[in-house]
Amino acid sequence: MLLNVVQSIAPDNYVAFTFFIGYIAMLAASVFFFVERNSVSDKWKMSLLVSGLITGIAAVHYYYMRDYNLVTGDSPTFFRYVDWILTVPLMCVEFYLLTRLAGATKSLLWKLIFASTWMLVCGYIGEAFNVDGSTSHSVTWGVLSTLGYLYILHSVWMGEVAGLADSSGSEVVKKGVRYLAWFVLVGWAIYPVGYMCMDGGWLNGIFEASTLDIWYNIADAINKIGFGLVVYTIAISESKKELAK
Ligand SMILES: *C/C=C(C)/C=C/C=C(C)/C=C/C1=C(C)CCCC1(C)C
């Protein structure tokens, strides 16, 4: 708060600028998802609540990340991971909510939450505790983290989540889950690529660490707001169908 009052963004500081824009966009998206809960049937209100929570939690973190970055000039790695560890499991909750009517179980939900938490905890250890820029540290934890990522990818493309979406009997849910699976495959892949560009990573030196934040900020906006909008579209279409009955 205090820092926020005295700092302003230099015109050529694109990193800070994307933190700022990210904050506004996440905030606006939350307002949108919360207000739009009124436009969907009861069954879908929880999905929109979760969409709004994802962008809302991100907005709070962007607020702090922007300040942190302005004051220190560093990447706000800690805030970034706190944000992810809260929001990525919530994205897994969205998959559960979308396939619940087709029979998704609590055990599926917990497996997805566990896999995402595993992915992020291992990633954090790999990134934050790599004091001497060691390649073996970076690669070991990166590979461990990727196991969690692969589990989620498998589940949403050809595993339990995909199977449930197929058997849901709704084209909207089936297509929607497929869209979300694309987010996981392409949008989420930006983060491990960024990770590999850091000290000790296989792609180190390709991007400046400072420009990495720009990529992460863009990726976050797509992955959180875009993801939420797909969920919103599914919820609206399904609610209309229910009304038409
Ligand atoms: C809104 C934030 C999202 C969707 C963040 C997603 C983050 C990941 C998919 C991170 C994955 C990583 C790996 C697969 C390996 C290297 C370490 C990570 C944590 C960057």
Q: Is residue 6 part of a domain?
A: no
Ligand 1 first shell, C-beta below 6 A: 84, 87-88, 119-120, 123, 142, 145-146, 149, 188, 191-192, 195, 220, 223-224
Could you tell me which residues come within 8 angstroms of residue 216 by beta carbon, excluding any fewer than 6 positions away?
A: 80, 190, 191, 194
Nearest by Cα to 162 from 190, 189, 184, 191: 184
Q: Is residue 32 part of a domain?
A: yes
Give the model's pLDDT for residue 3.
Answer: 53
The answer on pLDDT for 131 being more than 90 is no
Residue to substitute in 147, 191, 195, 216 for testing ligand 1 pocket (most ligand atoms within 8 angstroms of CB): 191
Q: Is residue 190 part of a domain?
A: yes
Give the model's pLDDT for residue 132.
Answer: 87
- Mean of the pLDDT values across residues 50-69? 96
Which CATH number do you get for residue 42? 1.20.1070.10
CA dist list (Å): 124 to 9, 38, 158: 28, 38, 28
Ligand 1 geometric centre to CA of 147 (Å):
11
Q: Where are the alpha helices (DSSP H) in 37-134?
A: 42-72, 77-100, 106-128
Q: Is residue 54 part of a domain?
A: yes
Give the model's pLDDT for residue 194.
Answer: 93
- Mean of the pLDDT values across residues 213-225? 96
Q: Is residue 2 part of a domain?
A: no
* Nearest CA owner, ligand 1 atom 6: 188
DSSP string, 133-166: --HHHHHHHHHHHHHHHHHHHHHHHTSHHHHHHH
* Nearest CA owner, ligand 1 atom 17: 123
Which comes out higher in pLDDT, residue 207 or 220? 220
Ligand 1 geometric centre to CA of 71 (Å):
25
Rounded to an integer, what distance in angstroms lies between the CA atom of residue 214 and that of residue 212? 5
Domain containing residue 47: 13-244
Q: Is residue 89 part of a domain?
A: yes
Rounded to an integer, what distance in angstroms lies between the CA atom of residue 231 and that of residue 19? 24
Give the model's pLDDT for residue 4.
Answer: 53
Ligand 1 geometric centre to CA of 49 (Å):
23
Please count the structural domains in the chain: 1
Q: Is residue 199 part of a domain?
A: yes
Q: Is residue 161 part of a domain?
A: yes
pLDDT band at 230 (very low <50, low <70, confident <90, very high): very high
Give the model's pLDDT for residue 10.
Answer: 81
Between CA 63 and CA 84, with CA 209 as vertex, the angle to 5 degrees is: 45
- Mean of the pLDDT values across residues 65-75? 91
Predicted TM-score (pTM) of this structure = 0.94
